[in-house]
Structure 1
Amino acid sequence: MDQARTIKTVITPQPVIEGAGVHLKRSIATRTLSELDPFLLFDHFGSENPDDYLAGFPMHPHRGIETVTYMLAGTVRHRDTLGNAGTIGPGDIQWMTSGRGILHEEMPQPSARLDGFQLWVNLPARLKMTAPRYQDISAAKIPVWTGENGVTIRVIAGEVGGIRGAVTDIAADPTYLDITLPANVAFRRSVPQGHAAFAYLFEGAGTFGIAESDGVSASAPRLLVLDDGDFLAVRAGESGVRFLLVSGQPLNEPIARYGPFVMNTREEIEQTLRELREGTFIR
């Protein structure tokens, strides 16, 4: 018999300032939740005040991780040492595999509102020093699955109803779904057993982790860490609910972390810092 995933932890996002002065709400990489293997960081950026975000993220390095930026509103200009440059806008995805090393910048542009998310996904030891890779996927290329009672799912990674997500060939075998439920609609979604999983509620309210008990009621913004099981059951509230459902295969490897660098040992971090000082970080 399939086992429902209940809610292990409810996280209230914490306000932080990153980059050159960008105001964010952080749910993973905090004192409450340092990581959820293989996920290392989850930020929600959203403001109608340009002073909260225009300073952006000037050129900075990464090694050993993948960064995933998903835009809801506004635009961000980016460029990197692979020669990529462009703008990501509403509904677009940027999935960057830093591998052995990349420098990039992300600079939000003035708009009525900037809104979106950034997720960091760990790389297994065997891929930490692989060649960097960049996937820039427009909103038009992200498939949408439509179910009963007005349920819609933007399939960023993973598979829903035979529809494959736009992002593929990622080491952690992730699922990344943007799910919208109309008012009072009940919904059930399979999640691979053994995968770490969370739901990030960013619009409306609902009851999550419904099993023998009544589940956990939550309103935006909240991050809900799911216990293990086979599926998540959700019931939307009176105003409907919209949330991200993200899952991935844990790596179960040692983590050595220093800012934008995530390796397996302290020695590898020290080597990375030496390469930055000596100008050999980018190959």
Structure 2
Amino acid sequence: MMSERSLIRVTPAQATQDGAGVRLLRALGYRQGARMDPFLMLDAFSSDDPDDYIAGFPPHPHRGFETVTYIVDGHMRHRDHLGNEGDLRAGGVQWMTAGRGIIHEEMPQQENGLLRGFQIWLNLPAADKMQPAHYRDIPAGEIRVAGLPEGGFIKLIAGTIPWATCPLEGPGKGHAATQPIIADIRVMAGQSVDIPIPATHQVLLYVFEGQLQAADQVVAAAHTAWYGPEGETLHIAATPSEGVRVLLLAGKPLNEPIAQYGPFVMNTAEELEQALNDYRQGTLA
């Protein structure tokens, strides 16, 4: 019988604003100690009030990491200074490698209705931080989905999960240093699923619908469940009365120093100062 990862702590997401006033919940990255290497930040946004999101995220820079934006409900447009444009609709993913630098904007394309999704910041190893920027839009139809009992599912955004007789492969498969696994998982009331997690990886679950049953503890929505390093599988269970939907993040730690100033994430203070100077002088990318 395979051993399970143990829940070690639960933390509430912190309400904040970003961009031009978009209201969101920050589950990772609200302080330096609230990261899980290699993940730097996890933001969850969800509102049917356009005043909470309509101003969007006007042009802003990044260097040294990747952003993964997953839209659950709604419609958002991406544009950047390299000429890339993306139309991010419900169920789709935007994968952007900032590398040495990119200036982009993400603007809601709806005036009312529910806008719900996530943005994940995934660190790059020192050797890859200054690579050319890269952008990819992955529409919902290209994302692999496996069914679970009674209407549950596993939607694999990145990585590989050995499932049944063949793997599900996401667009992030080629990230050799961090080997990220990102998945949207819904488990119906009274059901559970066991996800194999490599021994090399750290792992957490962000609960965004329903309640997670973790051993004798119930984890409510808008909370992050952190798991220990021992064990071969992650047991995801709903309570008997209510289903649960979670975002799974797992990755191999880089174990490198982090120097961060807002949207710039480097390894040393000198590299960070260079990023700031490059941005001020218009030579970021």
Q: Which residue of 1 aligns with 2:234?
A: 232
Asked if the contact 1:125–1:263 (Cα under 8 Å) also holds between the matched residues in 2, the reply is yes
Identical-residue share of aligned pairs (%): 46
Q: Does 1:176 align with 2:182?
A: yes
Which residue in the other structure is 2:54 paired with?
54
Within 5 A, what are the aligned runs for 1:50-199?
50-109=50-109, 110-148=111-149, 150-160=151-161, 161=163, 162-170=167-175, 171-199=177-205
Q: After TM superposition, where is structure 1 displaced by more than 3 Å over at least 4 residues in a row? A: 147-151
Distance 1:247 1:215, change over 3 A: farther
SS in 1 for 2:179: coil
Q: Which residue of 2 aligns with 1:204?
A: 210
- Decide which moves more: 137-146 or 271-280: 271-280
| TM-score normalised according to structure 2 size | 0.93
1:107-128 per-residue CA deviation (whole Å, 9 max, x = no partner) reads 1122311100000000000000
Of 150-159 and 64-73, deviating more is 150-159
Matching residue of 1:220: 221
Q: Secondary structure at the match of 1:144?
A: strand
Deviation at 1:151, TM superposition (A): 3.6
Q: Tell me if structure 2 keeps the 8 A contact 1:7–1:215.
A: no
Shift of 1:159: 2.1
Aligned positions, number = 277
Where 2:210 maps in the other structure, the secondary structure is strand
Q: Measure the CA separation in 2 of the matches of 1:68 and 1:226.
A: 22
Moved more, 14-23 or 78-87: 78-87
TM-score by length of 1: 0.94
Match of 1:10 in 2: 10
**2:238 aligns to what SS in structure 1?**
strand
Cα distance, 1:186 vs structure 2: 2.2
Change (3 A) 1:268 1:24: same
DSSP 3-state at the match of 1:239: coil
CA deviation digits over 1:67-125, x for unaligned, max 9?
01000111111101221113201000001000000000001122311100000000000
CA deviation map 1:20-48 (0-9, x unaligned): 11101001112484311101000000111
The AA in structure 2 aligned to 1:254 is P
Q: 2:158 and 2:277 mapped to 1: Cα distance?
A: 35
Superposition deviation, residue 14 in structure 1: 0.7
Displacement after TM superposition at 1:150 (Å): 4.4
In structure 2, give the amino acid aligned to 1:182: M
Cα drift, residue 3 of structure 1: 3.0
Deviation at 1:217, TM superposition (A): 1.3
The offset of 1:149, in angstroms, is 5.2
SS of the equivalent of 1:184 reads coil
Secondary structure class of the residue paired with 2:5:
coil
Write the distance in 1 (CA, Å) between the matches of 2:71 and 2:36.
22
Per the TM alignment, residue 274 of structure 1 is displaced from its structure 2 partner at its CA by 1.0
- Unaligned segments of structure 2, at least 5 residues: none
Q: Deviations 1:175-230 (Å, cap 9, x if unpaired)?
A: 1111111110122111111311110111111212xxxxx34311212111111121
- Greater mean deviation of Cα atoms: 185-194 or 136-145: 185-194
Equivalent residue letter for 2:41: L
